[in-house]
Amino acid sequence: MYFYFGFYSSILLIFFVHGLVYSVLLFKKGIANDTNADKWLGLFLLLSVLYIAPWMLGFAGWYDTQPYRDILFYIPFQHLFFMGPIVFFYVQSLLNPSFQFRKKDSLHFIPGILYLLYALIVFITDKCILHEYYFYADGADKDFAAWYQILGCVSMIIYFLSSLKYYTVYKQLVQQVTSYADTVLFTWVRNFLIAFLGILIVRIFFFILSIFIDVDYGGNWWGFFAFSILFYYIAVSGYANAVKTKMYFKTNLFTQQITLLLSAPNQQLQEETFTIFEEVEPNNNTVAIEEDAVELHKINQWKEKLLEEIVGNELYKNAELSLTDLSKRLKTNASILSKTINKGFGMNFNDFINYYRVQMVIEMLQQGEHKKQTLLGIAFDCGFNSKATFNRAFKKVTQKSPKEWIEQSS
């Protein structure tokens, strides 16, 4: 196979090969572990290496040599309409183990399929019917047509915003229903979205630059180089990511309503509608005030039951305590307990449980337990499951780090 190993082609070739390897590894990992998230990420990396292929092969001499020129012309390498939906489905499958790709989800790929059909029509017209360049009379690769690049970028922006919204909803929910939110907040998802945003910024920057400046082929290469660095970071970090969530849910991105699945989808399905708590503005309506008074009375009743269960039975020591676990113990639903904690204590569930863990740590410190065992050991005994979570929660409650508190109390 013809390939000119120059500076520009060789550097992109390194990223191309590595990206392809990571794509295969992720597919194998996804099949072995039955994790759809790895398969989606593997597909994203495959599209990423195809994205840089025309620039890599162009500098390797393909646009100047037949039949390689026609390969670049008639085979679509840049699948811009597919990248956005794949990112969106990757984020969903990573954050929500109950996510399953259904027939209606395939509608997201219609624009990409239409572009493939367009490429097929171009090929049949030029090579099979007219036997000459008709669509390619201008000698410009259709993958880089302005309309396709612009619409493709718009599509990716829309799906990036949808993915960001999904991640935001997840973060709000995990704070409301788990006592170990920090360990499942998925820093990787945040970093992935930042990297993908970087890809969009690079694309937009070079597009705007080309409007004001005549950027040559070599100048545009730097955009593909930046893209390669970002997708390579995604490949390495995504393959290494081992965080998994066990929180099953369904959500509508246009509302604040979430449906918690109290069991895995393959088990007997139990659902509970759950609304992320928001402060309600005071209402002077007499009926509303009476309803609020009744609700406040119920909240006060549940506050007593909650404190008896959490503090009296020291449930906060359970490092994996969740709102659904607590609701089963109290034989009620999660939304009632969430509302009680939100309105009755002014905290979300995660902060509520961590507050009592911190109080237990302080009590043990006052008894001099830090002289008998490590501070981290005390934190683990009180229900924390990581040093970072303990330090963050302790400072949030006391406005001091654990070491500062000990120094000022001694």
267 occurs within a structural domain: no
CA 350/CA 178 separation, integer angstroms: 6
Domain that holds residue 367: 277-409
CA 351/CA 111 separation, integer angstroms: 44
CA 215/CA 50 separation, integer angstroms: 22
Same domain, 312 and 208: no
258 occurs within a structural domain: no
23 occurs within a structural domain: yes
Same domain, 158 and 293: no
1 occurs within a structural domain: no
CA 385/CA 391 separation, integer angstroms: 11
In this predicted structure, the answer to whether residue 395 has a pLDDT above a threshold of 90 is yes
**Which of 248, 264, 286 delimits the end of a domain?**
248
Same domain, 33 and 128: yes
CATH code of residue 131: 1.20.1070
Tens digits of residue pLDDT in 269-321? 455 555 554 443 444 444 344 445 666 778 888 888 899 989 999 999 999 89
Q: Which residues contact 229 (CB under 8 A, 6 or more apart)?
A: 15
Q: At 204, is the pLDDT very low, low, confident or very high (cuts 50, 70, 90)?
A: very high
Same domain, 238 and 346: no
Give pTM, 2 decimals: 0.84
Percent of the chain with pLDDT over 70: 89
Tens digits of residue pLDDT in 230-249? 999 999 999 998 777 777 77
The string of DSSP letters for 330-364 reads: TTS-HHHHHHIIIIIHSS-HHHHHHHHHHHHHHHH
104 occurs within a structural domain: yes
Same domain, 169 and 237: yes
Instruction: Report residue 389 as tokens.
Output: 């979570």
Give backbone dihedrals phi and psi of 78, rounded to 5 degrees, phi first.
-100, 105
In this predicted structure, the answer to whether residue 24 has a pLDDT above a threshold of 80 is yes
268 occurs within a structural domain: no
257 occurs within a structural domain: no
Tens digits of residue pLDDT in 42-93? 999 999 999 999 999 999 999 999 999 999 999 999 999 999 999 999 999 9
2 occurs within a structural domain: no
Tens digits of residue pLDDT in 110-161? 999 999 999 999 999 999 999 999 999 988 999 999 999 999 999 999 999 9
**Number of domains making up the chain:** 2
Same domain, 304 and 364: yes
**Which of 209, 229, 248 delimits the end of a domain?**
248
Tens digits of residue pLDDT in 67-81? 999 999 999 999 999
| Half-sphere exposure (Cβ direction) of 20: Cα atoms closer than 13 Å | 11
Same domain, 89 and 150: yes
CATH code of residue 317: 1.10.10.60
Same domain, 215 and 290: no
Same domain, 241 and 295: no
**Which of 248, 267, 290 delimits the end of a domain?**
248
Same domain, 17 and 138: yes
Give backbone dihedrals phi and psi of 350, rounded to 5 degrees, phi first.
-60, -50
Q: Which residues contact 384 (CB under 8 A, 6 or more apart)?
A: 319, 354, 357, 390, 393
